[in-house]
Chains A and B, each alone.
Chain A
């Protein structure tokens, strides 16, 4: 019998317990799953042009390689909701490319974000209402640019750049053959977003 394996069968937790009715029955199975998939994993993409992209801190932000200088990178971002954008070098010089509009770095950033996370997730995160019949990365970019967004606060660039360095540092950490039971909560999946 298994009953005696239970620590106790709690009194007052029968069918007439006050919180049974607001518990199990009404809530979906998804909410009572330990391994529910909350975040689809990133899709593979080429990293040469945009080595780092993330949806974080209420912004789409990342690092874009310079077309001309291998040692220079641009830190670019677009804020969710307002689409306020910034673009500057890792030495905090402003990018002259956009002349008050989305520069090519920002366009590349949006394009790669869509490849990595899917159009739907990027659109939702940035709070864009894309009026296009067949939304794609171009209509998404136009929908944001069309609101004539302002230039954002460039002071966040240092933070984005340090997040990129933190991201790169993961490559330097040693693998381990000691089991990590916690990873049981993070099953892989073939399903795409």
Chain B
């Protein structure tokens, strides 16, 4: 089939609306289990065993089968131990992994870019932690403490949570945060516990984010298994040019991460690859807006390159088997300017994606850079934005952009071209804008979500920077007086 260039670049956007075989069945099993966690497993009701058995049946043909069947049975009888909860979390994760793979395959058809060849020589997936022995013991003790808290959560159910139960996570998180090997689990537990605390007591909740909390619970549960959260053992090196496409910012009350998506062109002339570079930090909850950039900026010169629309030259930058650059400013040099929309039009179609790590196979992890053009904008009464391309409606998450940046929902709604991340949530594909092009007079003007990442001369941006600087100054001053007594 010849792709229709008019209808959204070279993409087969029309395929996004087509049903995917097996998706509903897998999600139904997931939902059945998620509903079980609402009421909790302390005294399971007859209705809850359906959800547990459904999960077990859904993985019946896999190596997990017998462990999960046993776990479902014990749990339905109110006799589950922690290992049984881990088995249930593993089954749910496997099911969502299959959903991820089906969605990723569909996206591959839609974007029609070079296929990711498994770079077997470079890397093998998975791997064991590289922590020292003494640290390993402490790490596994903390992992066990986290597992015990998560098991208590499962017994209480979302409707049974209270302040005392949720507060038990705090000492575990505090002990984990300073250890780089436990940072991922600590960051997850911290965000999860903060959210639960804001929703206590669970008995009073009018609605519950059922899938979300089950996601966070299962993921945390699996990360407590030793070795599960360690960085992949396989590492390559990247030498060549990195052309940024945009920044995706993620934050909860006490953590922030900025992920730069870009195209890496190897110096040896190999296939260009889609890569990410991340920088994250724990933060006090009062550090927000421009404060997020200020926390991250000193650790990744790439944020400046994104703001200034520049290329960076990489010299032996560590690169994981999943396409994550482990950024080191000492291995990067600022290069020439390169307009992001040119990168998206010229380099992006040639770039091949890396495979996803086994544990990361989850629909929420799908974030595929795309360029869309030639769409009609549809604006709902509630301000919701959607693009219509080739007869297909694509929802746009126009609010998913950092507050300390110029990319507003209005800018998205008045755009003619958009670079974004294709995602999937709650049963549909959607687009997270990273940058848009608008026509102002006869000129095309680009607006980037990450325009202020490296700093800004924009008036509102400067004001936000000043406020954030002052806030951190006050906190540091207090910390200086009170913490080092």
Interface, chain A (partner B; CB < 8 A):
1-3, 5-14, 17-20, 22-24, 27-36, 38-39, 41-48, 51-52, 54-58, 70-71, 73, 90, 116, 164-191
Contact = CB atoms under 8 A, between A and B. Distances in A.
B50 interface: yes
B294 to A, nearest CB: 11
Interface stretch (B7-15, B95-103, B265-273, B337-345): B95-103
B244 to A, nearest CB: 15
Contacts of A177: 277-280, 299-300, 326-328
Interface residues of B, number: 125
Interface centre among A7, A14, A71, A178 (most CB of B within 10 A): A7
Return the 5 tightest CB-CB contacts between A and B, nearest first.
Answer: A175-B281, A183-B250, A177-B327, A33-B426, A8-B61
Interface string B272-293: 0000111111111110110100
Contacts of A178: 180, 183, 231, 278, 280, 326
Contacts of B257: 179-180, 183
Contact of B212 (A33, A43, A174, A176): A33
B352 to A, nearest CB: 19
B198 A39 contact: yes
B26 A181 contact: no
Contacts of A14: 25
Contact of A28 (B207, B283, B367): B207
Given A29-B426, A38-B209, A11 B57 contact: yes
Contacts of B51: 19
B278 A179 contact: yes
A189 B288 CA distance: 11
The A interface is mostly helix, strand or loop, or mixed, namely loop
B481 A184 contact: no
Listed residue (A42, A55, A173, A179) with the most chain B CB atoms within 10 angstroms of its CB? A179
Contact of B106 (A2, A70, A165): A2
Contact of A187 (B276, B400, B479): B400
Given A2-B106, A180-B257, A175 B279 contact: yes
26 contacts: A6-B98, A7-B62, A9-B25, A9-B26, A13-B57, A17-B28, A19-B32, A19-B50, A31-B208, A32-B27, A34-B363, A35-B212, A39-B194, A43-B288, A44-B464, A47-B474, A56-B163, A168-B475, A173-B177, A175-B280, A176-B183, A180-B187, A185-B191, A188-B250, A190-B402, A190-B409
Given A13-B28, A23-B28, A165-B483, A183 B62 contact: no
A44 B471 CA distance: 9
Given A9-B22, A10-B54, A189 B367 contact: no
B58 A2 contact: no
A17 B24 CA distance: 12
Interface string B205-222: 001111110011001000
A183 B255 contact: yes
B59 A166 contact: no
Given A165-B482, A178-B180, A183 B60 contact: no
B105 interface: yes
A6 B57 CA distance: 13
Contacts of B467: 44, 46
The winner among A11, A73, A168, A190 for most chain B CB atoms within 10 A is: A190
A166 B327 CA distance: 28
Interface of B: 20-22, 24-29, 31-32, 35, 50-51, 54, 57-62, 94-95, 98, 101-102, 105-106, 163, 167, 170, 174, 177-178, 180, 183-185, 187-188, 191, 194-195, 197-200, 207-212, 215-216, 219, 223, 231, 249-255, 257, 259, 276-286, 288-289, 291, 295-296, 298-300, 320, 324, 326-328, 357, 359-360, 362-365, 367, 397, 399-403, 408-409, 425-427, 432, 464, 467-468, 470-472, 474-476, 478-479, 481-483
B478 A175 contact: no
A20 B54 CA distance: 11
A13 B53 CA distance: 11
Contacts of A188: 249-251, 400-403
Contacts of A55: 198
Contact of A8 (B58, B252, B397): B58
Contacts of A186: 191, 250-252, 255
A154 to B, nearest CB: 19
B232 to A, nearest CB: 10
Contacts of B174: 166, 169
A28 B206 CA distance: 12
A12 to B, nearest CB: 6
Q: Max chain A CB contacts within 10 Å: which of B177, B209, B219, B402?
A: B209
Contacts of B426: 29-30, 32-34, 36
Which of A17, A165, A187 neighbours the largest number of chain B CB atoms within 10 Å of its CB?
Answer: A187
Contacts of B177: 170, 173
A47 B472 CA distance: 9
A44 B364 contact: no
Contacts of A90: 482
Nearest to B91: A7
Contacts of A173: 177-178, 281-282
